[in-house]
Amino acid sequence: MSISQDILDEQIQKEVPSAARLAVAALFFVQGAVFANWVTRIPAIQEKLELSNSDLGCVLLGMALGAVVTMPATGWLLTRFDSRVITTMAVLGYCMVLPLLALAPNVPLLGTSLVLFGAFNGATDVSINAQGIDVEQRYGRPIMSSFHGMFSIGGMICAASSGVLASLGVYPIPHLLGAGILLGIVVILASNWLLSAGIETDSDEEPLFALPTGSLLGLGVVAFCGLLGEGAMADWSAIYLQGTLNTGPGLAAAGYAVFSVTMAVGRFLGDWLTQRLGSVWMLRLGGIVASTGLGLSLLIPQPVTAIIGFACVGIGLASIVPIVFSAAGLLPGIAPGIALAAVTTTGYFGFLCGPPLIGFAADLVTLRGALSIIVILSVTVALLANTVLRVTPGENS
C-alpha cells in the first residue's frame, strides 16, 4: 500500500469516528430527554388516574416486562444485522411511544403503553451502547462516560423544561406529543452518521442470550445496584418532594433536574478521572458518596436536604454504568453485543424493577423509608468494586 493511501485511510478513520461520536452522543441525549419528559409528568398522570404508590408500582412493572424481552433480542440482532438500522428503529420507536403514556385513559392502557415504552427503551439502551463501544474501540481511549453524560444532559434540560411546563399548567398530552415529535426529528438527522458495521464478532453461532456467570455476573450485579438508584431517582424523586415533603410541582421536577446535572458533571469528568484513579476506585468512591449523601438527607427530611441528597446520588452513580458497560465489551470469548445485552438486562432489572419495588416498600414503611434501599445498594457497589479487576487486569486496587 502506498504512503498516500495510508494517509488517506488514516484521515477517513479520523473523520468517521468523529461524526459517529457526535451521532451517538445525540442519541444518548435523546434517550435521556425522552425519559425525563416521562418521569417529570408521573405525578400528574398518577393524580389523573387516581393511583396509589403501590398501584403506580404495579403499572411501572410494564416497563420492566418490555425491556426484559427486547434487551437480549437486540444484542443478538446486532450480531446479525445492520447496527445503524436497528439503532435508528429502536430510538425512533422510543420517541413515538412517549405520547401514548399521556393519552392512556385508564390503568390497563397505561400498563400496555409502558410495556411498549420499556421495550423500545431496552432496545435503545443496548443498541446505542453497542454503537458507543464500537466508537470507543476505534478511538482507542475511554469515551463511554461522555456518552452517558449526554444522557444526563438530556435528562437535565428536559426535566427543567418539563418543570416549567408543569408549573404553567400545560397538560401532559400536548407536552409529551410535542416532545416525541421534536426528539424523533433529532434521531432521523443523527442516524445518517451512525456506524453500520456494529461490533465485530469472531463467532458465527452466537446465542440469543448469555446467562450471566463469573465476571459477567459480577458486572451485572454492580450495574443492577447502580441502575436501581438511577431508576428510583427518576420515578420517585418528584413524588417524594411533592407528596412527602409537600413542595410544588416546579420544585418537585427540580429534584430530578439537579440529580441529572450532577450526574452529567460526573460523567463528563468520568473518563478523565477513570484514567487517573482507575475503575475500582471510581466505583468505590461513587458508592460512598451516593450512600452517604442520600442517607443523611433521609435523616433530615427537608426539601433542601433532599435535593442535596439527590445531587450526591447523581455524582456518586455517574461513572458506574459507563465503567461496567465498557468492561462488558472487553470480556474475552463472547461477542461484545451479547455480553453487553446480558449485563444491561441484569442491570436494568434494577432500573426498571427497582421503582416498583420502591413503590411497594413505600406502602409498607413510607416512601422515605423505602428510599433507604438505594443507600444499601450504593454501599454494595463500593464493596463489589473489585469485580472490574477481572476484566481490566493491571489496575491497582
Sign for the pseudo-dihedral over CA of 295, 299, 303, 305? negative
**pLDDT tens, residue by residue, 377-391:** 999 999 988 876 655
379 burial level (CB within 10 Å; 0-12, 13-18, 19+): middle
pLDDT band (50, 70, 90) for residue 214: low
pLDDT band (50, 70, 90) for residue 206: low
What would the mean pLDDT of 290-307 be, rounded to a whole number?
Answer: 92
| Mean pLDDT, the chain, integer | 85
- Between residues 3 and 109, which one has the greater pLDDT? 109
pLDDT band (50, 70, 90) for residue 116: very high
CATH of the domain at 342: 1.20.1250.20
Total domains present in the chain: 1
Q: Where are the alpha helices (DSSP H) in the chain?
A: 3-39, 42-48, 53-77, 83-103, 107-139, 144-167, 172-190, 214-239, 249-277, 279-299, 303-317, 320-329, 336-370, 372-383
The answer to whether position 39 is within a domain reads yes
Burial 3-27 (b: 16+ CB within 10 A, else e): eeeeeeeeeeeeeebeebbebbbbb
**pLDDT tens, residue by residue, 23-37:** 999 999 999 999 999
The answer to whether position 3 is within a domain reads no
User: Could you give the percent of the chain with pLDDT greater than 70?
Assistant: 89
Of 29, 10, 14, 279, the C-alpha closest to 148 is 29
**pLDDT tens, residue by residue, 323-354:** 988 888 777 777 777 788 888 888 878 877 78
Q: Does residue 9 carry a pLDDT above 50? A: no
Is residue 33 within 8 Å of residue 158, measured between CB atoms?
yes
The answer to whether position 2 is within a domain reads no
Is residue 209 within 8 Å of residue 345, measured between CB atoms?
yes
Domain with 203, as residue range(s), is 10-390
Question: What does DSSP assign to residue 390?
Answer: G
The answer to whether position 185 is within a domain reads yes
Among all chains, which residue has been given the C-alpha cell 454503537? 131
Q: What is the reported pLDDT for 98? A: 97
Q: What is the reported pLDDT for 394? A: 47
Q: What is the reported pLDDT for 37? A: 94
Q: Among 80-94, 236-250, 278-292, whose mean pLDDT is lowest?
A: 236-250
**pLDDT tens, residue by residue, 217-235:** 888 899 999 999 988 887 8
Among all chains, which residue has been given the C-alpha cell 403506580? 56
| DSSP string over 190-220 | HGGGS-SS-S--S-S---S-PPP-HHHHHHH
The answer to whether position 123 is within a domain reads yes
Q: CA 63: distance to chain centroid?
A: 13
Of 269, 262, 240, the C-alpha closest to 253 is 240
The answer to whether position 4 is within a domain reads no
The answer to whether position 397 is within a domain reads no
The answer to whether position 395 is within a domain reads no
Residue 251 grid coordinates: 420544585
